[in-house]
Amino acid sequence: MSTDGPTTDPTTDPTTDPTTDPVLDPVLLDVVVCPDCRSALAVGTPPDGTGQELVCQGCGLAYPVRDGIPVLLVDEAVRR
């Protein structure tokens, strides 16, 4: 097994903070759209300040991101 340098496990690395570190792939954001109105989505922070959500730029629905996976279900979204 070859290693190119030290690696860290984000689940045990104390310098990794899931509330501030980007967890969504930028390429993903270029592809996904709001399932309700088909407008672009932008990364946002829920009112409680923890985690991330994807907020529709058209209709204002905010979709939760759980464990780094966007939950793009209209029934799970909240209006912002």
- Give the predicted TM-score (pTM) of the model: 0.70
Q: How far is Cα 24 from Cα 70, in angstroms, rounded to an integer?
A: 8
Q: 3-42 b/e with 16+ CB inside 10 Å = b?
A: eeeeeeeeeeeeeeeeeeeebbeeeeeeeebbeeeeeebe
**Residue 8 confidence (pLDDT):** 53
Mean pLDDT for 22-27 is 78
H/E run at residue 15: none
pLDDT of residue 62: 98
pLDDT confidence bin for 23, thresholds 50/70/90: low
